[in-house]
Amino acid sequence: MKKCFYLTTAIDYVNGQPHLGHAYEKVVSDVIARFRRSLGQEVFFLTGLDEHGQKVQLAALAEGKTPQDYCDLLAGDWQRFAGELDLSHQDFVRTSQLRHRAVVQAILTKLQNEGHFYRAEYRGFYSTRQETFLTEKDRLPDGTFDAIYGDVTELVEDNYYFNLRDHQKWLIEYIENNPDFIAPNYRRNEVLGFLKNNELENLCITRPISRLGWGIPLPFNPGYVTYVWFDALVNYISVPASYGDPSVMAALPGLKLDEPTTNQSLSLWPADLHIIGKDILKFHAVYWPIMLKAIGLPLPKQILVHGWWQKDGEKISKSTGNIIDPVAVIKEWGLDAFRYYVTRELGIGPDGNWTDAGFASRYTSELANGIGNLLNRSLVMLRSYRQKIIPARHDELASETERTVTKVRQQLLEPDLQGALLTISGLINHANKYIDQTAPFKLAKDPTQSQRLDEVLYNLMEVCRILGVLLWPFLPSTADKIFKQLGMVNAPDDFNLATWGGISQGHVTNDPAPLFPRRDTVPTKT
Ligand code: MSP
């Protein structure tokens, strides 16, 4: 069984509102998934929802629903959201699914039997909002706790703990010896700095059922449910288990899946890419590797950490109304314009800033006046001067295009999505200038220049075709439109099609239609 290229997003809290940050992470992941598929790789792209925890329990109660009913309702919204973004995911995991619960419980049983857990009394403070324990160290100078923790209560509680301390040394060595494990590099340094300067606190992995019912019951003590993060991280292997992944099945011989979701067998683990935001780095780069090591599984190949979006230089926040509703933007400007802006504006790493004016400006100058104008002018000229028929092959723009294709391929492998879009823009601008310089509209008036006009038109049409292939992972429906207008019968979803000379003499194109109609307005307030 050949191993798939397996990539994941973080799983979103079911009770949150889908926003720009979630959309960004998913679009980035989708571009990578589509690109890998266009290289001919078998890809498995997983996204989904994190459903357990006290906040969900309380919200369900407030609405008079069971937590499961409440989650089922919200899960519908999130699945629709994935559809609005045209994600090409293979599966959508929900931590309330039985297939997930079975794997979490098998892991808990295994680690308990192998002595990774111990029981102890906890005395201290607890934040319900963050679902986390706090210590004296978390107090502000005035003795209170930061507002992000909400109401902090004092409690005494018996719980199970996962012994992390013994894992600190190998984890530091592993991160040092595997420079690509955490990217970008400054995030890797952050984790190393944390691990080298702090002794790891053991992780409390349970909550008493009296305080929290909505969670995965501890298989060896029905008085407890599993801590949400221990539960949520496991999604990355519970889905592979549901496809009979050989390495996960071998590590969990006690696992019984009552609810086979599929009879398709896949080899997925280890993941090639976990794509996450910077706020959840510690969970993925410290707790998760330790959990995997204890389970006896290899670590994911890379944790790719993106930054956070702001809007107009301020934190995105529902309470202050400083939000962007991706669905409203998509409705007004089209999905591809949204996908383009988020991947072009923000590289994977630093924080980014959304401005409505910036969005409108990229739409006009890079989409409408860039690829839109290039395709439209080229097709209109071919229709006017050559009855839509492609002339004989000519290679004037071949080497520039080939350089672009090689660079985009390498940038997408890295993956540097923003860099790849910049490289693609370079070719679009080059081709638009080529029209200005060769002036086909003048050539068309001079019968002695007929061959030169053929050459120019061939080069333009072929550049447009290859741009369709390069843009496909980012802008799938625009790329499809480009191919349709060029009269291609195949889809632009195969990177091998980005080879010069693919459009042949005598081929007949279709009528042009604007890819990105010009707009005079900035987006309405969302
Ligand atoms: N449920 C946890 C993740 C568990 S993964 C095993 C969680 N959920 S979340 O809904 O709060 O966040 C989901 C993802 O969205 C995270 O990777 C987070 O970093 C990302 N973002 C949330 N707000 C964001 C921005 N403003 N900007 C960019 N990404 C942000 O954390």
Q: What is the pLDDT of residues 65-104, one digit of tens each?
A: 999 999 999 999 999 999 999 999 999 999 999 999 999 9
Probe target for ligand 1 pocket from 85, 276, 317, with the most ligand atoms within 8 Å of CB: 276
Q: Which residues have CB under 8 Å from 155's CB, separation 6+?
A: 122, 123, 124, 125, 126
Lowest-pLDDT range of 58-67, 120-129, 343-352: 120-129
Q: Computed over its alpha carbons, how large is the radius of gyration of the chain?
A: 26
pLDDT for the residue 264? 82
Q: Where are the domains of the chain?
A: 5-306, 355-497
State the DSSP string of 287-308.
Answer: IHHHHHHHHT-PPPS-EEEE--
Residue range 54-70: average pLDDT? 95
Closest alpha carbon to 370 in 381, 362, 360, 379:
362
Listed in sequence order, the residues at least 6 apart from 59 whose beta carbon sits closer than 8 Å to its beta carbon are 15, 70
CA geometry: angle 125, 126, 131, nearest 5 deg: 160
Alpha carbon distances (Å) from 337 to 18, 41, 443, 513: 18, 27, 34, 16
Q: Which atom of ligand 1 is nearest to the CA of 352?
A: 27
| DSSP label at residue 217 | B
Q: Is 277 a pocket residue for ligand 1 (Cβ < 6 Å)?
A: yes
Region 311-320: what's the mean pLDDT? 88
Residue nearest to atom 23 of ligand 1 (CA): 21
10 Å Cβ neighbour count for 262?
Answer: 12
Q: Which CATH architecture fits 5-306?
A: 3-Layer(aba) Sandwich (3.40)
pLDDT of the residue at 80: 97
At residue 260, the pLDDT reads 54
What's the pLDDT band for 133 if we cut at 50, 70, 90?
A: confident
Contact 326 CB / ligand 1 (< 6 Å): no
pLDDT number for residue 521:
56
Architecture of domain 355-497: Orthogonal Bundle (1.10)
Report how far residue 431's alpha carbon sits from residue 370's, in angstroms, rounded to the nearest whole number.
10
**What's the whole-model pTM score?**
0.95
How much is the pLDDT for 526?
Answer: 44
Residue closest by Cα to atom 8 of ligand 1: 12
The verdict on the CB of residue 25 being under 6 Å from ligand 1 is yes
Q: What would the pLDDT profile of 176-187 be if each residue is shown by its tens digit?
A: 999 999 999 999
Question: Does the C-beta of 231 come closer than 6 Å to ligand 1?
Answer: no
The label of the residue with tokens 């839109």 reads 372
CB of residue 24 inside a 6 A radius of ligand 1: yes
> In Å, what is the CA distance from 352 to each residue of 189, 323, 341?
21, 14, 11
Ligand 1 pocket member 324 (CB < 6 A): no
Q: Which atom of ligand 1 is nearest to the CA of 316?
A: 26
Nearest CA to ligand 1 atom 22: 21
Residue 525, pLDDT > 80, answer no
State how far the alpha carbon of 8 is from the alpha carbons of 27, 30, 91, 276, 339, in Å: 12, 10, 10, 9, 18
* Angle, helices 335-345/476-485, rounded to nearest 10 degrees: 120
Cα 320 to averaged position of ligand 1 atoms, centre (Å): 19
**Ligand 1 site-directed mutation target among 132, 280, 311, most atoms within 8 Å of CB:** 280
Report the relative pairing of strands 309-311 and 303-306 from DSSP bridges.
Answer: unpaired
CA of 9 to the centre of ligand 1 (A): 9
Q: How far apart are CA 308 and CA 188, in angstroms?
A: 17
Give the pLDDT mean for 458-484.
98
Two tokens at 44? Answer: 């498995």
Measured CA to CA, the distance from residue 378 to residue 384 in angstroms comes to 10
Rounded CA gap, 49 and 76, in Å?
11
Average pLDDT, the chain: 95
Write out pLDDT tens, residues 422-449: 999 999 999 999 999 999 999 999 999 9
- What is the rounded average pLDDT of the residues 210-236? 97
- Rounded distance from Cα 160 to ligand 1 centre (Å): 27
The residue written with tokens 């991280």 in the block is: 233
- What is the rounded distance in angstroms from the CA atom of residue 366 to the CA atom of residue 356? 15
From 25, 47, 74, 318, mutation site for ligand 1 pocket: most ligand atoms within 8 A of C-beta: 25
Question: Taking residues 256-283, what's their average pLDDT?
Answer: 88
Name the residue with the closest Cα to ligand 1, atom 13: 12
Residues 473-520: tens digit of each pLDDT: 999 999 999 999 999 999 999 999 999 999 999 999 999 999 999 886
Structure confidence at residue 128 (pLDDT): 80
Report whether pLDDT(400) > 70: yes
* pLDDT tens readout for residues 9-54: 999 999 988 999 999 999 999 999 999 999 999 999 999 999 999 8
Q: Is the pLDDT of residue 259 over 60?
A: no
Model confidence over 332-366: pLDDT tens digits? Answer: 999 999 999 999 999 999 999 999 999 999 999 99
